[in-house]
Amino acid sequence: MADSAAPRPADFDSVAQTLERFADAGYFADERLATTVFLQTRLDKPVLLEGPAGVGKTQLATSLAAVTGRRLLRLQCYEGQDETKALYEWDYGKQMLYTQILREKIGQVVEDAADLHEAVERIAAQDSVFFSERFLAPRPLLEAIDSDEPVVLLIDEVDRADEALEAVLLELLSEFQISIPEIGTVRAKHLPYVVLTSNNTRDLSAALKRRCLHLFLDYPDAERELAIIRSKDTGLAESLAVRLVEIVRGLRELELRKSPSISETVDWARTLAVLGVEELTADVLSSTLNVVVKYERDLEKARRAIPLLVDPNRTVPDSRGGHGHGHGHGHGHDADHSHDEPEATSSAAPAALLDDGDVDGRAKRAAKDRPGRHDGAYGGVGGSSDDSRSADGKKVSASQGQRSFAARAARKRPV
């Protein structure tokens, strides 16, 4: 195990070259990300990438290893993870096996001991034999430090790990070394490129952030996401890929529990290409939504939004407005405008009829047809009074009204 890191040539000459080499490897970084990576290689600082899931944080470490020709070591963090799974652990089974094999030799060491205390002291003097690198099982963190070749160390989803593991990481991130009580301090032979990712499920400690170059990685703009789809050779036509990117970006604005990731957009493009889709219709997209939307509640919300995302100019007819009788005249509607048709009933009327059991309205019509329901001023007949008035306001008896009607009828009768 080396005491200091060996010098190495620079992997990137400039930010522009960093952008170019990542693009050649199929990773389309923007200027901010390329600058951060370039500074990481020059300042020997870890990089902490935070942001939503599926924006290319993990892929950055993979691409960095491919571009620089380094081996990738990955520590996948999870809740309840302890340092023995991240740093190292002792191979106790191997130690016990060696103890059994060397039992006779141990007996020879202590056979002439004067008492138990002296025997223990003699055995204790052999601790270095059983607590050595021979019995040490390195985990990703120690392996990255002790590697004979330079590596890229990915500490993925560090926000899922407990805070205790964060404390273990501090020595590694600041000094590129690990302290093992039984052996001592192990320093890096070659400084690794360390990339930490976080999906922001919890806040990371200020001590950890202070040791890293920090960058928040969000979803790419439409042009860069389209370039990613092109680079993956999905088989989807260019015009459809452009529309698909617009639709996916619209879905991300719906505040879903999990927004579609870039890799899922690529999967959707491949799905549509396999199905031979020639036009992005609401029906086709709704039937394949499960490729990019993974929760049932999100699926319902996305299905309702798809028609408008497919056709942003689509209008929904308003059933509450207009006349409701289907003609298309173009006159205005002022206060004096009216029709000879009966006034429309409210939408609540059918429900009211059903509520009282009068399904066809027969009982209500019969109630309105009872004799004497109107007073004398309603139509001049059938009221509670026999008197009516003429057009000039004079009082007219019922018998006078009948004679006048008969006279008009006689004049109109043909000879």
Q: Is residue 358 part of a domain?
A: no
Query: Which among 279, 307, 335 is the end of a domain?
Result: 307
Q: Are 173 and 46 in contact (CB under 8 A)?
A: yes
> 386 lies in a domain?
no
Query: In sequence order, which residues have a C-beta less than 8 Å from that of residue 46 and are 6 or more positions away?
Result: 40, 173, 194, 195, 196, 211, 212, 213
Residues 6 or more apart in contact with residue 298 via CB below 8 angstroms = 254, 256, 257, 258
Question: Do 162 and 299 fall within a single domain?
Answer: no
What pLDDT, on a 0 to 100 scale, did the predictor assign at position 267?
96
Residue 335 lies in a domain: no
Q: Is residue 405 part of a domain?
A: no
User: Strand 388-389 vs strand 395-396: parallel, antiparallel, or unpaired?
Assistant: antiparallel
For residue 187, the surrounding DSSP H or E stretch is strand 184-187
Boundary of a domain, candidates 307, 325, 359: 307
- Nearest partner of 178 among 147, 130, 209, 141, judged by Cα: 141
Residue where a domain stops, chosen among 195, 216, 237: 216
Q: Write the pLDDT tens digit of every residue in 112-163.
A: 677 777 777 766 666 666 666 666 778 899 999 999 999 999 999 999 998 8
Answer yes or no: do 169 and 287 share one domain.
no
Query: Could you tell me if 183 and 249 lie in one domain?
Result: no
Tell me the one-letter amino acid at 133. E
Domain around 176: 15-87+139-216
Q: Residue 192 domain-assigned?
A: yes
| Co-location of 147 and 201 in the same domain | yes
pLDDT digits (tens, 9 = 90+) for 230-252: 999 999 999 999 999 999 999 99
Same domain, residue pair 131 and 154: no
* Residue 369 confidence (pLDDT): 53
Residue at 30 is within a domain? yes
Q: How far apart are CA 326 and CA 355, in angstroms?
A: 29
Note whether 77 and 161 are within 8 A (CB).
yes
Contact 152, 68 (CB under 8 A): yes
Residue 334 C-alpha from the chain's centroid = 51
Cα 242 to Cα 246: distance, rounded to the nearest angstrom: 7
Model pTM score: 0.66
User: Do both 157 and 248 map to the same domain?
Assistant: no
The CA-to-CA distance between both ends of the chain, in Å, stands at 134
Is 161 a member of any domain? yes
What pLDDT shows up at residue 18? Answer: 96
Q: List per-residue pLDDT tens for the chain, 415 residues long.
A: 444 555 566 799 999 999 999 999 989 999 999 999 999 999 999 999 999 999 999 999 999 999 999 999 999 999 888 777 888 776 666 667 766 666 666 776 667 677 777 777 766 666 666 666 666 778 899 999 999 999 999 999 999 998 888 888 999 999 999 888 777 888 998 999 999 999 998 999 999 999 999 999 999 999 999 999 999 999 999 999 999 999 999 999 998 999 999 999 999 999 999 999 999 999 999 999 999 999 999 999 999 999 999 987 765 544 444 444 444 444 444 444 444 444 443 333 333 333 444 444 555 555 555 555 555 444 444 444 444 454 455 555 555 555 554 555 555 445 4
**Given this model, what pLDDT does residue 314 score?**
64
Q: Do residues 235 and 195 share a domain?
A: no
Instruction: Indicate if 181 and 274 belong to the same structural domain.
Output: no
Overall domain count for the chain: 3
Q: Are residues 282 and 195 in the same domain?
A: no
Residue 232 exposed, middle or buried by CB count within 10 Å (0-12, 13-18, 19+)? middle
Q: Is residue 98 part of a domain?
A: yes
Asked whether residue 66 falls in the same domain as residue 172, the answer is: yes
What is the reported pLDDT for 255? 86
Residues 69 and 201 in one domain: yes
CATH number, residue 212: 3.40.50.300
Q: Which residues partner with 39 through β-bridges?
A: none
Co-location of 61 and 210 in the same domain: yes
